[in-house]
Structure formats: structure tokens, C-alpha cells
């Protein structure tokens, strides 16, 4: 359901980006002509307070929003003024090593300087605002005077007042729309409208950006602004009152305030219901331009940063001299996507590895140093050329643990962590379970399980070189595991049984190997990928053979390939397994299948 945001988080477009504010926290995200994105965040002296009273809220939204929009336009000048930030960048770096109270004092000084720059650039932009004022004045005269003259030419002065007023209204609306369309000849105005649409899309979709279509937002400020004037022109024209200059002025102002108040309530209703939401396009089409990927990414960077500022109390404010993490993350993600690397986790792993943090911790990072940025971009360039992350770094992270990887073992994937999670859930039902990992490879599953539960873990693999890597990883992660060279169950003692048998066997169809990502084909061993003609060869071998190796009530657990769930479940049922369950991965694909064996 579309969530209406009553100015607790507001987005205003500027000609080169967007400005977001919540309470007294403000974020400015812009993009330069060469495509470089910048982000600044700071405390604003004017805290947004919105009183959500029907009819009064529209008046507040209009006039406060108009002030905020004009102020936001000044930020596009301020963020590109390096004088404000470059002078303070060295001081900020020095301050980071000092006490927190000194850091806060330095931040306050930066905020004050930011405000001074805004005022300075406000003066610089008076020239532009003067021309905007002239344009509005010309439009007011044109829209207010010409339609009346036309109406009197069509309908004479005697009688037919209602018809004449209707013609006045019609021409006012037409001229107003023509005026707005005329402004589109200016590239900066079109950019302004593209960022306006991008802000709405980000506000509506958030993390689901680019995955869904976004409806028009009726309460978008520019749409509200246009709708108010259209409504006002209609009412003033149809009433057609003439009481003298002063009374007419007061009446027109009263009508305008009424249109502001009543108009917002209308738009609010359109936003609240799916059936009426698309009606907003009637006027929103005048304030929307289709945004490019760059517009969306710029808006998303700002949206991400304002959310982090709201959820992380100690998050640092960004000046223009630092590399904002939100911007760096977006740049890496964009480059990898352009190179065909669609898995979002690769961006996380790459950045986290260089920063020396885990994936969860990088969300707390506000900025990176110039050296860190250069290292990140070098690694990104190598990954974009097809080199795997494990080759770039020589190791990877899995379930919060670090693993050495090479071309002799399969690099553990994020989806396999789901298999580990389910093994641990079942392992907790035993006092000290006996667990077997078949085809251990780098030892990722066995080591992650042994590290996180009180179990006796055995791991087998047909590859001696893989076992050597797994043993090294077990030693580095300080866990004790019994490693055996074995083709499935062949190397185990005949009567040995286990409470849980887990395996991530090769499940790629032989004819699909050639279509795999270059990174997978060249860096992962074929032995760990090829699952036979239909990808199910190892499931057919392991499932019946496991019956003699499971204790009464024991579990057999697998990772499976896309579309293999039904086939694997069928093989398990045919071999007497019960309580068979399936778990989906992060992309809603069936990824884990497990069942219970009862004698």
C-alpha cells in the first residue's frame, strides 16, 4: 500500500539533483555534467514540523513547501562551491582522532559555514530568480488579461455571463498549460522535472527501484502547485466577481487559500486509493519528465543517506571533500551491472573486503578515504573484466567467516548460507549431533556448522587438493573437523551413521556449463559443477545410499538448482523420506530441500 509521507521526509528537485529533509537533517545529492555524483548532508536550522490537521495541512504544505523548494534551489549552487568544504576537509580528518565532543564542535562549525555558503549563493542566484519573477509576472498578465479580452470578443457585454466566464476559464487553463509546456524548451527545466519524477519513484519504490512501475504521486509538491493554480483559475473565472480592486484582491486571495486547502485534500484522496491514483497523471504529466538511470541513481543515493541518518544516531554528516559511501556504493554497483554482474552481494563483498568489514558493518560506513576509494575502483575494474572476487582477493567471506579459495574448490555462494542456517536449526534439536558434509570443497558448510553449534562434524571430498584447502580453512577458523578422502560414502566405515547428512553437490546440467558466467567457468572446478545430463546425477546416488548412513529420525539436506525442487522431492519420497520441506532463497527460488528418515 502506498504510504503517504506528511513532510516527515520531503523530497524537492533541483536542476542537478534532489534535496531531502527529515526533521532537521538535510541531504543534497547532485550529479555533475561529467556524471560524477556528489552528496552533502548537514543539520538545517529550520526543522520541519508538520501539523496533520485536515484542510490546514494543505495550506502549511503549500507555503512551507514553496519556501523549502526555493531554498533547495540554492543548494545546487552551494554543493558545487568547493571553497566551503575543501578548507575544512583536513580539519575533519584531524578531528576524527580526537574526542567526540571536539568532533561535534567541528561539525557545528561546518554546518554554520554551510549556511553561510547557502546565503552567499542565494545572492548569486538573485539574477536567475529575477528572470523567473519576470516570467511569472508576464504569465500572470498574459493569463489574467488576455483570456478576458478574448471572451468579450466571443460573447458581447450584454447577458450570457455564465458562458463568458466559462470561456475565460477555458482560455486561462489553456494558456497556463501552454506556459508550463513552453518552459520545457529550457534544458535545466527539463532536468528539474526529471529529478522531480526520480524523487517520486525512489520515495515510492525504495529498495525495489527498477523492479516495479511507479504511479504518479498526487501530493508531489510540483503537482500540488500546478493543481492549485488550475483549480484557482477555474473558480475565479466562473465566479467572475467585480467589487473593485481591493475587494477583488481580497476575494481572489481567499479563493486561492481555499483552493490550496481543498486541493490538497483532493490529491490526498487520490493517493490513498489504487483506483484513483492514476488520476493524478492528469496534472502530474505537466511536472514529470522520464528520468534516466543517472537521475534515479542520484535520487536513490540521497534517499539511502537520509534513511541512514535517521536510523544511525551517530552517523557523520558529509561534506563535499569526502567520498560519501552511498555514492561509492552506487558507482560500484552501476559499473558491475554494466559489466553483467547482477548479483548485489558481489558489490557488498568487494567493498566490505577492502574496508576490512563484514557485509552488515558497511551499512554503518558514512565515507571512505581517497586511498580506499582508489582500491575499491581498481578491484571493481578487475571484476568488471571477468576476474572473480576470490581471485582478486585470494579469499572470500561465508557466514561471517573467512575462507581461502582457489581454482581447486568451488567458491561458496551467499545462497548456501541458507543451507547452513537450516542445518543449524535442526542441529539444535540434538545434544551433540553427528554431521556429515558430502563434497565439502573449501569446507565452507562443515566449518560454518562446526563453528556455530556443538556438533561432531565429518567432511568428505573426492578431491585431495580440495581437502587440503578445507583443512587450511578449518585451522584458520579454529574448528576441529574430521576430513576424509572419499567418493561419497565409500571412504567411511561401514557401520558409521550420522544424525544429519548435508550436501551441496554439483547440479548444473552438462549442456549448460558452456552458458555459465565466465567467472564461474574459468575459476570454479568442473568437477564441482557438472551434475550430469539433467543435473540430478548426484542426488540419485546420495539419496538411496544415505538410508544406511542415517540414524533413526535423521535428516538429509541438499542445496538444489533452479527448477530441481520437484524432482529431488520425488526421489526422496520414493526412497522413504518423510516431512520433506523446501526453502526458497533471497530471489524466491527453491534452493534447499530436506527430509527426515524414519526406519
Q: What is the pLDDT of residues 432-483, one digit of tens each?
A: 999 999 999 889 999 999 999 999 999 999 888 889 999 999 999 999 999 9
Question: Residue 543's pLDDT is what?
Answer: 94
In the chain, what percentage of residues exceed pLDDT 90?
27
Question: Residue 521's pLDDT is what?
Answer: 47
DSSP assigned state of 530: B
Band of residue 94 on the pLDDT scale cut at 50, 70, 90: very low
Instruction: Name the grid cell of 92.
Output: 575533519
Compute the average pLDDT of residues 278-291: 89
Does residue 110 carry a pLDDT above 50?
Answer: no
Question: Residue 85's pLDDT is what?
Answer: 41
Residue in 410, 441, 394 with CA at minimum distance from that of residue 402? 394
From residue 396, give the alpha-carbon distance in Å to each of 315, 391, 405, 461: 28, 9, 7, 20
Question: Residue 281's pLDDT is what?
Answer: 87
Instruction: Name the grid cell of 247.
Output: 475587494
Q: Which of 6-15, 19-28, 213-222, 369-378 has the lowest mean pLDDT?
A: 6-15
Q: For domain 408-597, which architecture applies?
A: 3-Layer(aba) Sandwich (3.40)
Compute the average pLDDT of residues 234-244: 79
Band of residue 98 on the pLDDT scale cut at 50, 70, 90: very low
Q: Which of 52-56, 178-182, 580-584 has the lowest mean pLDDT?
A: 52-56
Of the ranges 37-46, 204-213, 239-248, 579-588, the best mean pLDDT one: 579-588
- Do residues 46 and 10 lie in contact, with contact meaning Cβ atoms separated by under 8 Å? no
Compute the average pLDDT of residues 301-308: 86
**Rounded distance, CA 79 to CA 323, Å?**
14
- Please report how the helices 370-384 and 344-355 are oriented relative to each other, as an axis angle in degrees rounded to 10: 140
Does residue 104 carry a pLDDT above 70?
Answer: no
Q: Which is higher by pLDDT, 302 or 408?
A: 302
Query: Average pLDDT, whole number, for the chain?
Result: 79
Question: Residue 322's pLDDT is what?
Answer: 67
Q: Which is higher by pLDDT, 415 or 243?
A: 415
- Do residues 527 and 450 lie in contact, with contact meaning Cβ atoms separated by under 8 Å? no
Compute the average pLDDT of residues 229-236: 88
Does residue 213 carry a pLDDT above 80?
Answer: no
Q: What are the residues whose beta carbons fall under 8 Å from the beta carbon of 222, sequence distance 6 or more?
A: 13, 193, 196, 287
Q: Which of 236-250, 345-359, 413-427 has the lowest mean pLDDT?
A: 236-250
Instruction: Name the grid cell of 24.
Output: 532537521
Does residue 1 carry a pLDDT above 80?
Answer: no
pTM over 0.85: no
Compute the average pLDDT of residues 11-30: 84
Question: Residue 61's pLDDT is what?
Answer: 87
In 79-220, alpha helices (H): 82-95, 100-124, 126-154, 161-182, 187-205
Q: Which of 31-35, 115-119, 306-310 has the lowest mean pLDDT?
A: 115-119
Does residue 305 carry a pLDDT above 80?
Answer: yes
- Give the pairing of strands 456-461 and 434-438: parallel
Question: Residue 311's pLDDT is what?
Answer: 82
- Do residues 297 and 337 lie in contact, with contact meaning Cβ atoms separated by under 8 Å? no
Question: Residue 165's pLDDT is what?
Answer: 81
Does residue 533 carry a pLDDT above 90?
Answer: no
Q: Which is higher by pLDDT, 67 or 52?
A: 67
C-alpha Rg value of the chain to the nearest Å? 32
Question: Residue 136's pLDDT is what?
Answer: 57
Compute the average pLDDT of residues 27-35: 78
SS3 content of the chain, % helix, strand, coil (to 5): 55, 15, 30
Question: Residue 23's pLDDT is what?
Answer: 74
Secondary element (H or E) of residue 246: helix 245-272
Does residue 557 carry a pLDDT above 90?
Answer: yes
Handedness of CA 346, 347, 348, 353 (dihedral sign): positive
Does residue 275 carry a pLDDT above 90?
Answer: no
From residue 208, give the alpha-carbon distance in Å to each of 88, 201, 205: 37, 10, 5
Residue 458, SS3 per DSSP? strand
**Rounded distance, CA 322 to CA 312, Å?**
19
Compute the average pLDDT of residues 507-515: 66
- Do residues 166 and 191 lie in contact, with contact meaning Cβ atoms separated by under 8 Å? no
pLDDT tens digit sequence for 156-194? 655 577 887 888 888 888 888 888 888 888 888 888 999
Instruction: Name the grid cell of 502.
Output: 548435508
Does residue 124 carry a pLDDT above 50?
Answer: no
Does residue 552 carry a pLDDT above 70?
Answer: yes
Question: Residue 513's pLDDT is what?
Answer: 52
Instruction: Name the grid cell of 125.
Output: 542566484
Band of residue 412 on the pLDDT scale cut at 50, 70, 90: confident
Compute the average pLDDT of residues 493-522: 75
Compute the average pLDDT of residues 44-60: 73
Band of residue 427 on the pLDDT scale cut at 50, 70, 90: very high
Secondary element (H or E) of residue 592: strand 590-597
Does residue 526 carry a pLDDT above 70?
Answer: no
**Rounded distance, CA 488 to CA 512, Å?**
24
Amino acid at each position: 500500500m502506498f504510504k503517504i509521507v506528511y513532510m516527515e521526509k520531503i523530497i524537492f528537485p533541483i536542476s542537478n539533483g534532489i534535496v531531502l529533509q527529515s526533521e532537521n537533517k538535510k541531504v543534497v545529492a547532485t550529479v555533475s555534467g561529467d556524471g560524477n555524483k556528489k552528496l552533502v548532508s548537514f543539520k538545517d536550522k529550520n526543522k520541519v514540523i508538520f501539523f496533520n490537521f485536515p484542510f490546514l495541512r494543505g495550506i502549511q504544505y503549500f507555503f512551507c513547501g514553496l519556501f523549502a523548494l526555493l531554498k533547495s534551489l540554492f543548494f545546487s549552487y552551494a554543493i558545487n562551491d568547493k571553497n566551503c568544504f575543501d578548507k575544512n576537509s583536513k580539519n575533519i580528518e584531524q578531528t576524527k582522532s580526537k574526542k567526540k565532543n571536539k568532533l561535534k564542535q567541528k561539525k557545528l562549525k561546518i554546518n554554520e559555514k554551510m549556511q553561510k555558503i547557502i546565503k552567499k549563493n542565494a545572492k548569486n542566484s538573485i539574477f536567475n530568480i529575477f528572470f523567473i519573477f519576470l516570467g511569472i509576472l508576464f504569465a500572470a498578465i498574459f493569463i489574467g488579461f488576455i483570456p478576458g479580452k478574448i471572451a468579450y470578443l466571443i460573447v458581447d457585454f450584454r447577458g450570457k455571463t455564465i458562458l463568458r466566464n466559462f470561456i475565460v476559464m477555458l482560455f486561462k487553463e489553456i494558456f497556463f498549460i501552454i506556459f508550463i509546456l513552453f518552459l520545457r524548451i529550457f534544458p535545466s527545466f527539463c532536468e528539474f522535472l526529471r529529478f522531480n519524477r526520480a524523487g517520486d519513484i525512489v520515495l515510492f519504490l525504495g529498495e525495489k527501484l527498477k523492479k516495479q512501475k511507479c504511479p504518479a504521486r498526487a501530493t508531489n509538491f510540483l503537482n500540488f502547485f500546478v493543481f492549485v493554480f488550475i483549480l484557482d483559475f477555474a473558480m475565479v473565472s466562473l465566479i467572475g466577481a467585480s467589487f473593485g480592486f481591493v475587494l477583488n484582491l481580497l476575494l481572489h486571495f481567499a479563493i486561492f487559500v481555499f483552493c490550496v486547502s481543498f486541493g490538497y485534500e483532493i490529491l490526498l484522496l487520490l493517493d490513498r486509493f489504487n483506483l484513483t491514483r492514476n488520476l493524478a497523471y492528469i496534472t502530474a504529466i505537466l511536472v514529470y519528465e522520464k528520468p534516466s538511470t543517472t537521475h534515479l541513481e542520484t535520487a536513490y543515493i540521497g534517499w539511502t543517506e537520509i534513511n541512514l541518518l535517521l536510523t544511525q544516531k551517530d552517523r557523520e554528516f558529509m561534506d563535499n571533500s569526502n567520498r560519501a559511501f552511498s555514492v561509492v556504493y552506487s558507482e560500484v554497483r552501476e559499473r558491475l551491472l554494466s559489466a553483467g554482474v547482477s548479483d548485489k552481494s558481489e558489490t557488498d563483498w568487494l567493498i566490505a573486503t577492502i574496508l576490512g568489514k563484514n557485509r552488515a558493518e558497511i551499512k554503518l560506513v558514512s565515507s571512505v578515504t581517497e586511498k580506499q576509494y582508489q582500491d575499491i575502483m581498481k578491484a571493481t575494474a578487475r571484476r568488471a573484466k571477468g576476474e572473480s572476487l576470490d581471485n582478486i582477493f585470494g579469499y572470500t567471506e561465508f557466514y561471517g567467516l573467512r575462507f581461502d579459495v582457489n581454482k581447486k574448490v568451488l567458491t561458496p555462494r551467499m545462497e548456501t548460507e541458507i543451507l547452513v542456517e537450516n542445518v543449524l536449526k535442526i542441529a539444535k534439536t540434538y545434544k551433540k549431533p553427528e554431521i556429515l558434509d558430502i563434497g565439502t570443497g573449501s569446507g565452507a558448510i562443515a566449518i560454518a556448522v562446526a563453528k556455530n553449534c556443538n556438533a561432531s562434524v565429518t567432511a568428505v571430498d573426492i578431491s585431495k587438493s580440495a581437502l587440503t584447502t578445507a583443512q587450511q580453512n578449518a585451522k584458520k577458523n579454529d574448528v576441529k573437523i574430521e576430513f576424509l578422502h572419499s567418493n561419497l560414502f565409500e571412504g567411511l566405515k561401514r557401520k558409521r551413521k550420522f544424525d544429519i547428512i548435508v550436501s551441496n553437490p554439483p547440479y548444473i546440467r552438462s549442456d549448460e556449463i558452456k552458458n555459465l558466467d565466465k567467472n564461474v567457468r574459468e575459476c570454479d572446478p568442473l568437477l564441482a559443477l557438472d551434475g550430469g545430463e539433467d543435473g540430478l546425477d548426484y542426488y540419485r546416488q546420495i539419496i538411496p545410499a544415505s538410508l544406511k548412513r542415517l540414524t533413526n529420525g535423521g535428516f538429509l539436506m541438499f542445496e538444489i538448482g533452479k527448477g530441481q525442487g520437484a524432482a529431488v522431492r520425488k526421489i526422496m519420497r520414493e526412497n522413504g523420506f518423510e516431512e520433506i520441506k523446501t526453502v526458497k532463497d533471497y530471489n524466491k527460488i527453491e534452493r534447499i530441500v530436506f527430509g527426515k528418515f524414519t526406519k
